[in-house]
Structure 1
Amino acid sequence: MDATPDCHDSIRAVLWQDDHLRLLDQRLLPARERYLDCRDSGEVAQAIRDLAVRGAPAIGIAAAWGVVLAAQRDPATLDAALAQLRAARPTAVNLMWALDRMRRVIEAVRGSDGSVAGARAELPRVLAREARAIQDEDLAANRRMGELGAALIAPGSGVLTHCNTGSLATAGYGTALGVIRAGVSSGRIARVFAGETRPWLQGARLTMWELTRDGIDATLIADSAAAHLMRTGQVQWVIVGADRIAANGDTANKIGTYQLAIAARHHGVRLMVVAPSSTIDLATASGADIDIELRSGDELLGYGGTRTVVAGARAWNPVFDVTPHALIDALVSERGVVERPDVARMAALFGAR
């Protein structure tokens, strides 16, 4: 299958500018396209916490460049910068993975005595090379996953996606949205549906913006319409990304994914999880061990600065949920495809890290 990697792929949300990091502020889309210029690691950490940059791969890439900014400013602050960036979001394993890669480079340059005195000139350069590698590898992985995932889809199929897993959430092209891009380019996907994804409306604001901008016809649905849509027979696959995948294949993704998986199994619709191998966390045995981020309930009580819920009401706002591996039909990474993932099948493909 030839998915023409550059087709339907025009967006880059994380841009390194030699002395600062430019991030497309995703909180303002689609109304405004504004970039934030982060000039130190603290500003990068804040952008991650505030969801100006979001999506597990993009968070990891941004954090890697945040380490470069810390090294440019003062290599003596690197340990503090690493800790601050690590604490910005707890669930997405790509953040920890990218920072661990950057730490290994720091330790190699520092040497056995841990001194940074002789590394002040060298560290920014070698860290920038590592951050660039992380970003370039992600883009290449996304294109490979797009090819592998699209090959699983029968021509003429309809697909439903959840949240935003495209260029905005990655180095470019996307994970689940990369499969959709490849599937549309190759003629395998005939219909695309996107759930709105409350409370931040990433599907409505971001996925629909990406698809429309890149010339892919798509239909928005309310999150609560998904099961009814499946019942109509218009959808053959639910395709989602992941923020952390445990050793047995249990997958943490945007809140609402679990209920989509349950509805898909009931209606005979297949579920595909698409994520780079950096999202696989073999040190986490199952989804029960994944730390689920809870954000302020205020995010559910209104939108755009306007309260929509009666005063005195409380809200519970988990950002992610865990889909058991038994509900997943295919897990696609740049290393290959795991069908019906379990401990043995996951170890066979991802055991050598």
Structure 2
Amino acid sequence: MIKLELPQQPQLKEIDVCFENYYKSLLERLAKDGNTHRIIPEILKLCGNMANFKLLITDEWFNIKDKSDGLFLEYFLVGRFYLDLKKMKSSDNKKYRLEWVSNILQCITHYPKMEELIDCNHLYYKTANFSKFKKENNKIFSKFIELNEKLENFLNYKRYRKFYRVRLWGLYSCEVCPYCNLNSIVNHSTFTTADIEHFYPQSFFPLFCVSKFNLVPSCKDCNQQFKGSKYFHYNPRYYGLDEYFKFKFSVNSLFEKTIDNYLSHSKEITEDGINLAIELYTENKYVKEALSILEISNRYNNLNNRTEICKFIKIAESKRGLWLKTIENGAILEYRDKEEVLNELSPFLNSEIYQSRKFMNIEKGKFKADISSIFRDYIEDLWSR
């Protein structure tokens, strides 16, 4: 997952205008439509006041979540518990179910206002019958579900999408899906191939369905097939996970898995013999969960990427002789210095992009940088021998 790189100030101002205009349209609806007056008490309960409601639509999550005069945080916590219940499976053990109940009760001791949104007096503790456990505990969210139906109808995400989706993603200028960094996004004045991905799933958090902090451009694969209504801990609007893992490869048919050996046998290496994987540099469960849900390893381990690695091995082998001569002579041959040797990898990834590690608009930029670094490390090692 790559952090969404925000555009320059002029575009940011225009993005803000999109959300401010939609907020104004909601106020106009409140003024004109007599039926929507029923939502005002709910908005005031959740937001505290209309100024906070505006922040909810137009501002960033870190400026909103701790507003003490509303139930933003309590709403979020209840939604998380409801989402966890919905995704609970019969294969989950009894201990997991009891922990879910225990966590709700513990959370309420810290955030007692949660009980304005949830009926914890009817929590069902018996875990032997999974279906009954799930059915009975669904009932405690009846107030939350009813509230969400009202919010969904009033905030009207479909209307927002119709008027702002193309303009919004054009302003963000996002050319590659930030979730997978794999699929390109095409933006034109009249259409875009990007989906609007709700970081906090709109089916569980309709309060956030038209909030700036919650709308992330994504490819259709990530939005509809992989992430969907699942919850992620890290919002790509604020965080990137690329530093927590690295792509690597190996060649199955060769016993000694070293770059020297791969280059020496470059003519024998085929796409089928290359295995692509990821190496984690963290024990963070949320990072692991995100990479697993997005199926990053499986999606990248395809024939096209393995073909690219195979070509890269052959390019490196064709250059290796000259690299070695340059190093052995300690003099300028075709290259001025080590950096020019390293820049020979530019057919795979521009060296400037490699150094900056800004991959948002580079298709498979993270993958290309990680594979490049394997060969750059090899050259560095040759130079230091």
Q: TM-score normalised by the shorter chain: which range applies?
A: under 0.3
Higher strand share: 1
Q: Between Structure 1 and Structure 2, whose CA radius of gyration is higher?
A: 2
Higher helix share: 2
